[in-house]
């Protein structure tokens, strides 16, 4: 149905969620709080371990796997350098921690969380949790390496990874970095490539010798990318010793917790844990596809997932999850420390207990919508005008429980253009009326003589018909007949014009497609026909709509048509999904 000046508006809502849980395939019994003996875990941090370019005044954020006894945090956090300052709990599971003095440029900062931290049942953190990151700097520094200096038993097929404080010039890196055996004087050729977070990979062109102590030398002339005057300044070197094995086996995912296929996942499960067959190159591990509802909760955590020592287990913090949330993700293309790539696909799916809300109507939730519009004259499909449309919608709950879905002129949410009024019943969402500002000014509210069934609840495939009348002063009596049809669920790819990178497949999981058509007569004569096709995502509400209006001649305006195709931005605060 159209967003023109006639009788209709369709609304949407954004609530975003990821979910996982430790449960069996068909049912789960929540843990009894009185018998909780499970130690809490650190499930996410910001900055993440090994992160670079951290601001000197950045706040530390830590997410735990379950609610924490807040008083137990006292004296259990050390930040070196900088000193631990005040703690501010964002939720029962997430805390932000200030540091008492600004960090110097290029400093390595280590945060340690002690075992005195407990959950609400008194269970202590099983072991201290420490992570380090690096403060931004204009200098070029070698920050870390894999293998670490002094490592032994390194696979003969292992790649060598170097992390710098700034991006480096690839030619200078290759020209001034060697992998050599100081005993045999052999120098081992490699190919160099760049990864995320300023990690650079040296991939030896042949297997390294067995039982050899090798030296990696990074020359002083290695220069910053685009800034040849900034160099490492002094040579850096480290050594490691190889084992006897040559690793040619790609890594695999050994397990998910909760297991794939789990149903009735508790809303407060707190964690997703992914276990691998061997150490993983973290830069290579990301979903190749996942549903938007799941992705948004992960991305909105405010903290990054935590890798275990050795990069064999990945822990993802989860907030309290939406009821009935369905979750899917597929992984491929991840590599081990030797560069062996898993080309097969590992899939995971799970569902949170309960029935998802197909159209959440939460007060003060807002959405940003965008998409093209066009208009033309009756009988000719070629548009006479077209352009881009941008809308800001907000849900406003009234004192009597009715919901206004209000369209504003801007994201300041000051000047409403129009709104539609809905009443949520057990078996349906009813449309009560609307208000429209016409060509400007304050919207004039219009209430239908009887409500129109806007959406059946719970959502099932089928059709319905409803009608109403309304008398508009100065215009006359309108009669409206609305017919609707719900189609079976389908996955809906995310709009790619302003959305995800092409390497990732984002989609709405099992969206319900609803087609509505409303014929309106004025004084017994046809006035307009409005149609809309809208896709509803469980837990999120409407996410995509196509509207079309055919209208009779009106005053000086000839008979014509108006069409829009709108997408709701999944979340304005999530990079990659905007």
Q: What is the pLDDT of residues 52-67, one digit of tens each?
A: 999 999 999 999 999 9
Q: Other C-beta atoms within 10 Å of 406: how many? A: 22
Residue 546 lies in a domain: yes
Model confidence at 573: pLDDT above 60: no
Residue 21 lies in a domain: no
Overall domain count for the chain: 4
226, 228, 230, 236: CA torsion to nearest 10: 110
Model confidence at 237: pLDDT above 80: yes
Residue 74 lies in a domain: yes
Query: Which residue range is the domain that position 78 belongs to?
Result: 38-134
Q: What is the mean pLDDT of residues 165-193?
A: 97
* Cis peptide, bond prior to residue 258, ω within 30 of zero: yes
The pLDDT, as a whole number, for residue 34 is 59
Model confidence at 440: pLDDT above 80: no
Model confidence at 562: pLDDT above 90: yes
Residue 575 lies in a domain: no
261, 267, 270, 271: CA torsion to nearest 10: 10
| Contact of 124 with 116, CB cutoff 8 Å | yes
Residue 229 lies in a domain: yes
Rounded to whole angstroms, how far apart are CA atoms 125 and 119?
8
Residue 20 lies in a domain: no
| Contact of 119 with 67, CB cutoff 8 Å | yes
SS3 (DSSP) at 577: coil
pLDDT over 70 for what percent of the chain? 91
Q: What is the mean pLDDT of residues 88-115?
A: 95
Rounded to whole angstroms, how far apart are CA atoms 2 and 296?
28
CA-nearest of 530, 533, 529 to 514 is 533
Assessment of whether the complete model's pTM goes beyond 0.85 = no
Mean of pLDDT over the chain = 90
| Contact of 43 with 78, CB cutoff 8 Å | no
Same domain, 266 and 385: no
For 63, the token pair is 């997410």
Model confidence at 264: pLDDT above 60: yes
The pLDDT, as a whole number, for residue 470 is 94
The pLDDT, as a whole number, for residue 10 is 25
CA-nearest of 386, 273, 281 to 50 is 281
- Per-residue pLDDT reduced to its tens digit, 412-439: 888 899 999 999 999 999 999 999 886 6
Residue 69: phi and psi, rounded to 5, are -70, 105
The pLDDT, as a whole number, for residue 3 is 32
Rounded to whole angstroms, how far apart are CA atoms 202 and 35?
50
Q: What is the mean pLDDT of residues 465-482?
A: 93
Model confidence at 18: pLDDT above 50: no
Same domain, 224 and 321: no
Same domain, 227 and 82: no
Q: What is the mean pLDDT of residues 568-578?
A: 55
Same domain, 127 and 193: no
Same domain, 100 and 173: no
Same domain, 150 and 277: no
**Residue labelled with tokens 């992984």:** 331
Q: In the listed set 199, 219, 241, which residue is the last one of a domain according to the structure?
A: 241
- Per-residue pLDDT reduced to its tens digit, 25-79: 333 334 445 578 999 999 999 999 999 999 999 999 999 999 999 999 999 999 9
Q: In the listed set 213, 241, 269, which residue is the last one of a domain according to the structure?
A: 241
Starting at the earlier edge strand, list the strands of the sheet with 77-80.
77-80, 108-113, 129-134
Q: How confident is the model at residue 401 (pLDDT cuts 50, 70, 90)?
A: very high
CA distances from 141 to 171, 197, 396, 502 (A): 17, 13, 53, 33
Residue 102 lies in a domain: yes
Same domain, 504 and 375: yes
Same domain, 177 and 211: yes
Q: What is the DSSP string of 171-188?
A: HHHHHHEEEE-TTT--B-
């Amino acid at each position: 149905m159209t967003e023109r000046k006639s009788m209709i508006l369709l609304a949407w809502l954004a609530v975003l969620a990821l979910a996982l849980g430790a449960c069996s395939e068909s049912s789960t019994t929540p843990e009894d709080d009185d018998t909780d003996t499970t130690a809490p875990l650190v499930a996410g941090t910001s900055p993440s371990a090994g992160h670079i370019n951290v601001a000197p005044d950045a706040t530390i954020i830590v997410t735990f796997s379950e609610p924490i006894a807040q008083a137990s945090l006292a004296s259990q956090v050390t930040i070196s350098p900088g000193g631990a300052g005040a703690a501010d709990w964002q939720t029962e599971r997430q805390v932000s921690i200030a540091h008492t003095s600004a960090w110097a440029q290029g400093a390595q900062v280590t945060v340690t969380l002690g075992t005195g931290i407990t959950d609400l049942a008194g269970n202590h953190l099983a072991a201290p949790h420490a992570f380090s990151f690096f403060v931004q700097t204009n200098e070029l520094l070698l920050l870390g390496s894999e293998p670490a200096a002094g490592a032994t038993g390194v696979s003969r097929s292992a790649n060598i990874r170097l992390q710098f404080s700034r991006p480096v010039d690839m030619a200078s890196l290759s020209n001034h970095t060697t992998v050599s055996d100081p005993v045999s004087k052999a120098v081992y050729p490699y190919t160099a490539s760049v990864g995320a977070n300023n990690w650079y990979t040296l991939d030896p062109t042949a297997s390294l010798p067995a039982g050899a102590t090798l030296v990696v030398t990074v020359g002083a002339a290695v220069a910053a990318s685009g800034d040849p005057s900034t160099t490492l300044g002094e040579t850096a070197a480290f050594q490691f010793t190889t084992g006897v094995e040559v690793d040619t086996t790609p890594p695999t995912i050994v397990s998910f917790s909760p297991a794939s296929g789990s149903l009735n996942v508790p809303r407060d499960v707190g964690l997703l844990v992914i276990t691998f067959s061997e150490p993983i190159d973290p830069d290579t591990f990301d979903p190749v596809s996942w549903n938007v509802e799941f992705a948004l909760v992960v991305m909105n955590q405010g903290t990054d997932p935590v890798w275990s020592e050795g990069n064999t287990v990945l822990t993802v913090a989860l907030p309290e999850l939406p009821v009935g949330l369905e979750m899917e993700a597929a992984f491929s293309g991840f590599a081990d420390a030797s560069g062996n790539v898993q080309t097969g696909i590992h899939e995971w799916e799970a569902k949170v207990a309960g029935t998802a809300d197909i159209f959440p109507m939460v007060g003060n939730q807002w959405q940003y919508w965008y998409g093209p519009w066009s208009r033309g004259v009756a009988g000719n499909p070629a548009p006479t005008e077209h352009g881009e449309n941008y809308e800001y919608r907000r849900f406003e709950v009234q004192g009597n429980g009715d919901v206004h879905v209000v369209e504003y002129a801007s994201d300041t949410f000051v000047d409403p253009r129009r709104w539609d009024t809905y009443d949520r019943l057990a078996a349906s969402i009813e449309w009560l009326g609307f208000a429209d500002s016409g060509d400007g000014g304050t919207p004039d509210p219009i209430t239908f003589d009887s409500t129109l069934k806007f959406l059946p609840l719970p959502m099932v495939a089928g059709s319905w018909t409803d009608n109403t009348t309304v008398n508009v002063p100065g215009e006359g009596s309108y009669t409206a007949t609305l017919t609707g049809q719900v189609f079976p669920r389908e996955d809906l790819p995310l709009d790619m014009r302003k959305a995800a990178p092409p390497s990732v497949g984002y989609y709405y999981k099992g969206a319900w497609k609803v087609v509505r058509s409303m014929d309106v007569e004025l004084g017994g004569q046809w006035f307009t026909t409005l149609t809309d096709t809208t896709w509803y995502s469980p837990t999120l509400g409407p996410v995509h709509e196509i509207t079309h209006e055919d209208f009779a001649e009106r005053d000086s305006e000839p008979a014509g048509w108006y069409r829009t195709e709108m997408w709701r931005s999944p979340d304005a605060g999530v990079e990659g999904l905007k």
